[in-house]
Amino acid sequence: MIQINDTDRPLFTNPEMNICFVKTNTITGDVSYHYGKNIITVDGNLFYAQKAAEDASITSDFAGASGRMELRTGSATPANTDTYTHVTTPVTTSRKIITSGYPKTADADTDNTGSGTTVVTWVTSWTTADFNATGIIGGCIHVGAASPVGGTKLLTHFSISSFDKTASDTLKVFVNHTFLGV
């Protein structure tokens, strides 16, 4: 976990640390950056392949109306076969739709230290009133809308070092997927 103030914001991140949490304390003005890594699931890879081929019958439209980001406090080792069942101890009050205009490439948001021309960025933001939680250690993007069930498909499942979100904090989470053409 990296915690720094806004004037010392990192200029780049380790490409394996493609999850960036930006937490701002609205009382003190302190900004902290927390980095983690994720795995794109089998269903996520299928989604990206179908989008790339402009397939009209996308199996799971994570970018559509039922796509949500959700955080978790339970331990998990993300794997590419994960479904919502593997999102242990979800913070259901954090379940929120992907920010309008995302996903996108070449994200211009200056808080996103992992954006680029070959990077697909997903983002969700929470206000001070949206939710509070202690021990946040990961999350996911799923297609279960407001009521995911055990077998709900995940685009990605990610882990991060533990941190808390209080009623004084706003939170923005960037998920960056880099396409390298390898």
Distance between CA atoms of residues 41 and 79, nearest Å: 7
State the Cα torsion 13-40-172-18 to the nearest 10°: 0
The strands making up 154-165's β-sheet, listed across from edge to edge, are 90-97, 68-72, 133-142, 154-165, 31-40, 19-25, 169-178, 119-126, 104-105
State the Cα torsion 111-114-120-122 to the nearest 10°: -40
Looking at residues 15-35, what average pLDDT do you find?
91
Paired tokens of 180: 């390298």
Distance between CA atoms of residues 131 and 89, nearest Å: 15
Residue type, 66: S
3-state helix, strand, coil in the chain (%, to 5): 10, 40, 50
pLDDT digits (tens, 9 = 90+) for 28-83: 999 999 999 999 999 999 999 999 999 988 999 999 999 999 999 999 999 999 99
DSSP string computed for 139-175 = EEEES-TTS--TT-BEEEEEEEEEEEE-TTEEEEEEE
DSSP string computed for 109-145 = -TT-TT--TTEEEEEEEE-TTT--EEEEEEEEEES-T
Looking at residues 163-180, what average pLDDT do you find?
95
- Would you state the pLDDT for residue 6? 40
Looking at residues 81-87, what average pLDDT do you find?
97
Q: What is the pTM of this model?
A: 0.91
- Would you state the pLDDT for residue 113? 86
pLDDT digits (tens, 9 = 90+) for 42-55: 999 999 999 999 99
pLDDT at 12 over 50: no
- Would you state the pLDDT for residue 180? 80
Paired tokens of 173: 């989470």
Looking at residues 162-174, what average pLDDT do you find?
97
